[in-house]
Amino acid sequence: MASLARVKLVGEDPELDRVEAVASAFALPLQRFADLEDACESQEMDPSDIFVLGPSLYFQSHLNQIQRLENRPAVVLAAGARLPNLAKIMIPRLVYSDWTDEEINWELQLSAEYHRRQKRLDALRDHHKRAWSVESNPAIQLVTSLMRKCTAAEEYRDLLSAVLALRTVVEFHDASLLILNGDGTVAEGWHCPKEQRDRLEHLKIAEPSLPTTLAKLPEGEVTLFSSSVNGPGGGDWERFTTHPWSFGIAIRFSLGQGPKGTKGVRSAVLVLYRRELVPFVERDYWLLEMTYGPLALALEKVVMLKAIGSASKEWRSTFDGISEPLTVIDSSYQIV
């Protein structure tokens, strides 16, 4: 067992005398109190693992008082020949006065160990609850805010504007969103340097007809690159920012089939650049991966809106090009 059980004996029952003698023999940290009030008051400044109650103090009101303590200990009943009536119902952990010294010591140590394990489990449960609480977890707040902004997005630039909210939790200087054709060429690009805050600019890409190797990045996985080490695409990253940079991270999204007339399957790549000589850390990767779902859905929505707009424009131009009057008739050749 990790450490000795810290014990407080509460009461003046003769059964406690036997427990006190054993605890002293095994050098357990020990205190004894005549009444429960003093024991509870001392628990705040000097917490123990176990309260060993005598039979005369084993009442429901006393158990409730112990349960309300911030540093709540385990409760063990020092029992003799007769058990209190409440103990027959509650079935507490027991230490019998006629046990051997080794048995009493073992029960005290075991009770303390179970109590410590329970405290660790409670702490883990509390951490898990707080981790999924919107009020206490900034990452969930971030994704919620991002989803809200993505819902209203109608253009690719709106999505990059939503991504800028990441600056509250991930430190980066420049951000670029690239829309790629199926052959790897850049169909559209948007960029936002840190100096412009939330103002976006259309990215003027050198040699736009040249395919970019960013199209080969794994979908949904964060890729790290640096200016000093050739990452995926070598110097290809230089084409998508207007400032010198040191480190960057990127994530690719698949957009499915684009509108009619485009070059096959399209994809999008979000690239974040950092100018300082400080690399991104694992927490930054994790936060960027959390945005994958909302951004992927929003990108699909924008692609669909553009496809609908393109089809509507083509439909209107077709009818606008017909000089003769048109009528719509039903199966009986009646003008509708």
Is the residue at 149 inside a domain?
Answer: no
* Residue 298: domain span: 154-320
| pLDDT grade for 138, boundaries at 50, 70 and 90 | low
Residues 175 and 300 in one domain: yes
User: Can you give the pLDDT at residue 96?
Assistant: 93
CB 61, CB 49: distance < 8 Å:
no
Residue 132 reports pLDDT greater than 90: no
- In this structure, the answer to whether residues 121 and 257 fall within a common structural domain is no
Tell me if 138 is assigned to some domain.
no
Please tell me the predicted confidence (pLDDT) of residue 89. 84
- 218 and 100 in one domain? no
The arithmetic mean of pLDDT across residues 39-63, rounded, is: 91
pLDDT for 232: 46
Per-residue pLDDT of 83-115, as tens digits, reads 888 888 888 899 999 999 999 999 999 999 999
Give the CATH number of the domain where residue 36 resides. 3.40.50.2300
Maximal C-alpha separation, the chain: 113
> Is residue 148 one of the residues assigned to a domain?
no
pLDDT of residue 1: 44
Whether the predicted pLDDT of 213 surpasses 50: yes
Percent of the chain with pLDDT over 90: 31
Shared-domain flag, residues 121 and 231: no
* Domain shared by 161 and 303, yes or no: yes
**Is 180 inside any structural domain?**
yes
Of 9-13, 36-40, 138-142, 236-240, give the lowest mean pLDDT range: 138-142
